[in-house]
Amino acid sequence: MTDTPMNHHEQIDHVVETGVALPFWTVFKREFSAYFRSPVAYGIAFAVLLFLGVLFNGYITYANQSQQTPADSTYAPGLLVFLLFLIAPLLTMRLIAEESREGTLEVLMTLPMHEGQFILGKFLAAWGYFTVLLLLTVVYHLILLTIGVPDLGAAFGSYLGAWLYGGAVIAITMIWSAVTEDQIVAAFLGAATILVLYLAEIAASWVASQGAVGGIADFIRELGLQAHFGVTLSRGILRLEDVLYFVFMIVAALFITTRIVEIRRWRA
């Protein structure tokens, strides 16, 4: 503390002009740019693109040889959606856990901002990063356009679906980052939750095969993620109920996260 002495105070104690604050936007800007400063985010992008690239290469080689497989633009977003059970926890694990462990949450929660704004900003940042990742895979669609005639409706549906799907999965995994201060635990629990929701369809068929009342199996299927993507959006079938399902999942998960942060703060 020896560089310069602390100065006298008259010069700074003037009225500080304030305007309309948009805390969620401020939080979003910081978190979103943080992804592009962190090696983890580049690592995820690299791994995903490499994985998709290799599989896509094999796919079009095969499609070329067989002369029968249509150019399918839903291939890349479909794969990305599957990979989300790994990607989303990595993107969200630190969002709240780190702030909570470092104590920076305490400062934020004494600022004139509702928890919801803070959670929303964090969520949008992670979703924004995922959006960038998804847009990068548009390159596969462009390649398909040069070598075939892909179904544009299916392409649009699957990209929109993957985007909403990503939002829901990111919002859900973020809950765990609010529950525990341990990022690794948050990531594991997040991955497990998403796998369960991904595999709900299998669980539903099993329940149905056990002779349970039809309604239960249907309910489990509808609760799962794939029922709203795999057979509808990813084939270009745009159903309002699927879009509403993802929007509902996002809103519900953000609400739960907000409540958890609030409750943890009250007990701190």
Give yes or no for residue 39 binding other proteins (CB under 8 A): no
- Interactions with other proteins, residue window 50-89 (CB under 8 A): none
Number of C-beta neighbours around residue 139 at 10 A? 14
Smallest distance from the beta carbon of 189 to other proteins, in angstroms? 25
Pick from 18, 66, 68, 146 the residue near other proteins by CB under 8 A.
Answer: 18
Rounded distance between C-alpha atoms, residue 60 and residue 215, angstroms: 41
The one-letter code for the residue type at 27 is: V
Alpha helices by DSSP H, 67-199:
75-102, 104-108, 115-136, 138-147, 152-179, 183-198
Pick from 65, 66, 110, 210 the residue near other proteins by CB under 8 A.
Answer: 110
Query: Quick one: 259 or 265, whose CB is closer to other proteins?
Result: 265
Smallest distance from the beta carbon of 31 to other proteins, in angstroms? 11
Pick from 23, 116, 128, 148 the residue near other proteins by CB under 8 A.
Answer: 23
| Token pair belonging to 148 | 């075939």
Number of C-beta neighbours around residue 223 at 10 A? 17
Rounded distance between C-alpha atoms, residue 48 and residue 58, angstroms: 16
Query: Quick one: 142 or 268, whose CB is closer to other proteins?
Result: 268
Q: Which residues of 190-208 are buried (b: 16+ CB within 10 A; e: fewer)?
A: bbebbeebbebbebbeebb
What separation in angstroms does the CA of 13 have from each of 10, 18, 112, 134? Answer: 6, 14, 20, 48
Smallest distance from the beta carbon of 86 to other proteins, in angstroms? 25
Give yes or no for residue 1 binding other proteins (CB under 8 A): yes
Single out the segment in contact with other proteins by CB under 8 A; choices: 18-26, 122-130, 163-171, 228-236.
18-26
Pick from 65, 68, 103, 209 the residue near other proteins by CB under 8 A.
Answer: 103
From the list 119, 121, 224, the residue with the least C-alpha distance to 174 is 119
Pick from 39, 112, 211, 215 the residue near other proteins by CB under 8 A.
Answer: 112
Pick from 39, 210, 215, 267 the residue near other proteins by CB under 8 A.
Answer: 267
Give yes or no for residue 21 binding other proteins (CB under 8 A): yes
Pick from 40, 50, 54, 111 the residue near other proteins by CB under 8 A.
Answer: 111
Give yes or no for residue 266 binding other proteins (CB under 8 A): yes
Give yes or no for residue 149 binding other proteins (CB under 8 A): no
From the list 171, 34, 169, 173, the residue with the least C-alpha distance to 104 is 34
Query: Quick one: 12 or 149, whose CB is closer to other proteins?
Result: 12
Are the CB atoms for 83 and 167 separated by under 8 Å?
Answer: no
Sign of torsion, CA 55 56 62 63? positive
Give yes or no for residue 241 binding other proteins (CB under 8 A): no
Smallest distance from the beta carbon of 125 to other proteins, in angstroms? 13
Give yes or no for residue 263 binding other proteins (CB under 8 A): no
Are the CB atoms for 217 and 190 separated by under 8 Å?
Answer: no
Residue ranges that bind other proteins, judged by CB under 8 A: 1-9, 11-21, 23, 26-27, 30, 34, 37, 102-114, 265-268
